[in-house]
């Protein structure tokens, strides 16, 4: 589990570094690579306690929004 968290942290740094670049300078292949890295990061974070916490927070937010829209 420790190795997974370290790789996830490294990928998070790479994602932040890639997203800080100017949008005009990105090619289609560059955008595709960024999306692939983000997907791998999501897969690595999902089974961790942090990933479960994110899922709970997003679920509660979605539930509160759906209740606010209802009658």
Predicted confidence at residue 69, as pLDDT, reads 66
Say how far apart CA 11 and CA 9 lie, in whole Å.
5
Q: Give me the domain span that covers residue 28.
A: 2-69
The answer to whether the pTM exceeds 0.75 is: no
Token pair for 40:
């791998």
Residues of the chain with pLDDT under 50: none
Quote helix, strand, coil % in the chain, to nearest 5: 85, 0, 15
Predicted confidence at residue 5, as pLDDT, reads 57
The dihedral built from the CA positions of residue 30, 32, 35 and 39, taken in this order, carries a sign that is negative
Predicted confidence at residue 64, as pLDDT, reads 85
């Amino acid at each position: 589990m420790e190795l997974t968290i370290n790789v996830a942290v490294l990928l998070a740094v790479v994602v932040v570094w890639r997203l800080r670049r100017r949008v005009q300078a990105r090619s289609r292949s560059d955008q595709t690579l960024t999306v692939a890295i983000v997907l791998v990061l999501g897969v690595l974070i999902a089974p961790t306690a942090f990933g479960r916490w994110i899922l709970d927070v997003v679920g509660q937010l979605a539930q509160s929004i759906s209740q606010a829209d209802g009658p």
